[in-house]
Chains A and B, each alone.
Chain A
Amino acid sequence: MTRVGLDIVLVPPRVEASLWRRLRFEREIRCREQLFSRYRNLARGLAVRQLRRRPDNGIELGDMEQFAYEGLLHAIDRYDPVRGVPFGAFARRRILGCIIDGAARLNELDAQYGYRRKMASERLASVADAATGAGDTLAVLTEMVSSMAIGVMLDDTGMIEREDGADHRPSAYESLAWRQLHGKLRSEIERLPEREAMIIRQHYGNGVSFRQVAQLLGVTPGRVSQLHAKALRTLRRRIGE
């Protein structure tokens, strides 16, 4: 994206203040996602540090991240941008509180049922609900499998660069065709309606659960699940074109 001209005059504290102003006083809900994305690394960093400090009891980083994102969302909704306290300092305490509370709540059994499986279940339930109208059992299954296949690809699009900068793509797949397909998928995500693109970006790119995406969007988790299935169907159709 080229924003060179505008970049010359941007004043970063004003840019952030503008997001808060539009979210709080002008009810521009999408600013919540932009603020969330801005501070996601802060939440993730705190999750990583907390995980390192704990004994190895099966809790995965993904779980810790979910608690951290929960804290970040609480902080975004409670922050008063006019009081002059920097948001980072305000959010840090709440994020840490949520991580510590969440980890304490998570018993051994829950920990074994780690966040990856929870995410997979959410996705499966989403496409299964959407596929039930497809007709006979085989048609339903075909619909589900092809939607899930797009989900698997999305997991590997590299939509968001990993923070360690490493390339996690399997080298065996580094064929031209695979790269082209990924490129097409990425550009098709940009063409999705704004809310659907946001769900795909946050869920697959940032590992944010449907429940938290729902908070970001101000809708129910069920609605996120529906929009997720719709987005996968659109992507699947366009990739096949």
Chain B
Amino acid sequence: MTQCPDDEMQQLLGAMQVQTDDAIVLTEKMIDAYPEDARLHFLRGSILAGAGRPIEAHASLSRAVALAPDFALARFQLGFFELTSGEAQRALATWEPLGALPDTAYLRRFAEGLAHLIRNEFVETVLALRSGIDANEENLPLNNDMQLIIDECEGLIGRPSAEADEASATSLLLGQFGPGRTH
């Protein structure tokens, strides 16, 4: 499998800071050149998710996970995308392999916390997400997303029949996505 060289990946990451459309075009060109590089599909999926093209975003994220099943960040983000799309059971199935990561792995802790959230177990959600945040020093934007969910949960704890307010959209974040890394 030919992987996109690091210098080209850096160039792509640089382009993503400017125009979404340019970044999509560039990513697609690179996918033509390296169709089996899971990182490129993950990038495309992340950009499309941010650009409000959810159907294509899901296809790209799924492709990334299919190409690299151990690409934990892509797997977590695919599950998170499914969760935010209302497909809770599918998200749990996507995250299931993350259970094989070490107990202290932040992505595993985040997935566990979100599984508690699906079951309305807010105290457990907060504990798991917080421990994930403590363990995560490499993907800080993800911590911000999880903190938003913690804040919402804390507002619900102790409210027996609480109605949740609509949370702000927690978007997929490219964060600490580094060249050459898939997990």
Residues of A in contact with B (beta carbons under 8 Å apart): 2, 4-11, 13-15, 17-18, 20-21, 25, 81-82, 84
Contacts and interface: CB of A to CB of B under 8 A. Distances in A.
Interface residues of B, number: 34
Contacts of B170: 9, 11
A13 B120 CA distance: 23
B55 A11 contact: no
B182 to A, nearest CB: 25
A1 B50 CA distance: 30
A123 to B, nearest CB: 34
A8 B117 contact: yes
Interface centre among B55, B149, B170 (most CB of A within 10 A): B55
Contact of A13 (B54, B125, B149): B54
Contact of B54 (A5, A6, A7, A17): A17
B142 to A, nearest CB: 14
Interface string B110-139: 000010111111100100000000000000
Contact of B149 (A4, A8, A14, A21): A8
Contact of A18 (B54, B56, B122): B54
B29 interface: no
A10 B118 contact: no
A5 B153 CA distance: 8
B104 interface: no
Contacts of B88: 6
A4 B165 CA distance: 9
15 contacts: A5-B122, A5-B153, A6-B88, A8-B156, A8-B167, A9-B117, A13-B54, A14-B84, A14-B85, A17-B54, A18-B54, A18-B85, A18-B87, A82-B53, A82-B55
Interface secondary structure of B, over-half rule = helix
A63 B172 CA distance: 46
A18 B86 contact: yes
A9 B149 contact: yes
Nearest to B87: A18
A15 B86 contact: yes
Interface centre among A6, A8, A14, A15 (most CB of B within 10 A): A8
Contacts of A82: 53, 55-56
B135 to A, nearest CB: 21
A10 B122 contact: no
B81 interface: yes
Given A4-B163, A5-B120, 20 more contacts: A4-B164, A5-B121, A5-B164, A6-B117, A8-B117, A8-B167, A9-B117, A9-B149, A9-B167, A10-B84, A10-B167, A11-B85, A13-B52, A14-B86, A15-B86, A18-B58, A18-B86, A18-B87, A20-B55, A82-B55
A8 B153 contact: yes
Contact of A7 (B56, B119, B121, B164): B164
Contact of B162 (A4, A14, A17, A18): A4
A92 B119 CA distance: 38
Given A2-B120, A4-B120, A4-B162, A9 B55 contact: no
